[in-house]
Amino acid sequence: MEIKIIGEGDLPPLIDELTSDSLEISIASAFFSPTGFNMIEKYLKKYNHLKEVQIMLDEDFHPEATVRKELIHKLMALPNTEIRLFCDRDKLFHSKIYIFTGDDKIQAIVGSSNLTDGGLLHNVETNVLLSLDADAPEVKKLRFTFNKYWNMLEYVKNSSRIFANTGGICASTQF
């Protein structure tokens, strides 16, 4: 296992580098903005070999409902991309996990950076890059943690349905 502390401003070029070697990407981010979308879209166009992209967000990932709706529509249009929303009002979704899966190696960024302009470019954030063999116990635990919530959440298939609840994202508060 290799561990590296990621400094300010290093996250976007690191995500670019990790995406170039990945077959699958799994992301959990409490907040998401047009800057985060633009980065994902740019890398998906640049590296069209990705087989799967999973993006897990809080239902209130952006403070403006119109921006949330626009970003959901844009995410749904990306190739090989699945979006799930955390809609439990009894719990706060605050994870920031970026998992990059290659042929025999997994690299994960865990830390404080959301997929926003602040989290990626402007805020003082702390993140750690873990480079691991695919069969390492730490990978199994990280995957278990991500999948535990991923499998609880509803797949965003129809954006008109998810916005039917008085401007909110989720049709119900629990799934």
What is the DSSP track for 133-155?
ETT-HHHHHHHHHHHHHHTTSEE
Give 123's strand partners: none
**What's the whole-number average pLDDT of the chain?**
87
Sorted by where each starts, the structural domains of the chain and their CATH numbers stand as 2-162 (3.30.870.10)
Dihedral sign, CA of 172, 119, 72, 55?
A: negative
For the cut 50, the answer to whether the pLDDT of residue 165 exceeds it is: no
Q: Which residue has the tokens 């990626």?
A: 120
Supply the pLDDT for residue 26. Answer: 97
Q: In the structure, what pLDDT confidence band is assigned to residue 161 with cuts at 50, 70 and 90? A: very low
What is the DSSP track for 2-67?
EEEEEPTT-HHHHHHHHHHT-SEEEEEES-B-HHHHHHHHHHHHH-TT--EEEEEEETTSSS-HHH
Q: In the structure, what pLDDT confidence band is assigned to residue 98 with cuts at 50, 70 and 90? A: very high
Could you tell me the CA-to-CA distances from 79 to 20, 67, 117 in Å, in that order? 16, 21, 23
100-110 per-position pLDDT tens digit: 999 888 999 99
Write down the pTM of the prediction.
Answer: 0.88
Residues 6+ apart with CB under 8 A from 108: 97, 98, 99, 100, 129, 130, 132, 139, 142
- What does the angle CA 110 – CA 135 – CA 132 come to, to the nearest 5 degrees? 40
Q: In the structure, what pLDDT confidence band is assigned to residue 166 with cuts at 50, 70 and 90? A: very low
